[in-house]
Structure 1
Amino acid sequence: MSDDQLADYLDGFVTRGGGQPFKDGATGWYDADRGVVIIQRGEYSMTGYEMSYEDFLRKLK
């Protein structure tokens, strides 16, 4: 995935909304097709991790 493709992929989560609040104050989305969670901790800070859906649910408020 190119840098531009990655940026578009991450931006897609923010623009469609639906993020779930995490216990630590971050916002997260789960991409079941890829088995990753996308975490946004600030306006310009997003990170992706491989994670099971069950672990994702445990991080929610």
Structure 2
Amino acid sequence: MADKLKITLVKSTIGAIPKHRATVKALGLTKLNKTVEKPDNAAVRGMIEQIKHMVKVEEI
């Protein structure tokens, strides 16, 4: 397991349900193609699992 995850928003939140929009915002993703680095833990993995159709994840 990596110690950090690189998360990139690749799909717009325009048509997304409000719960998914909130998850994207909580991860710190504000614009399309923006990338953030987050620690690799269960909480972040759970958030990614919820919006896996909207993000691209790389282990670093």
Q: What's the TM-score once normalised by structure 2's chain length?
A: 0.27
Question: Would you tell me which structure has more strand in proportion to its own residues?
Answer: 1
The structure whose RCO (Cα within 8 Å, separation 6+) is larger is 2
Asked which structure has the greater CA Rg, the reply is 1
Q: What's the TM-score once normalised by structure 1's chain length?
A: 0.27
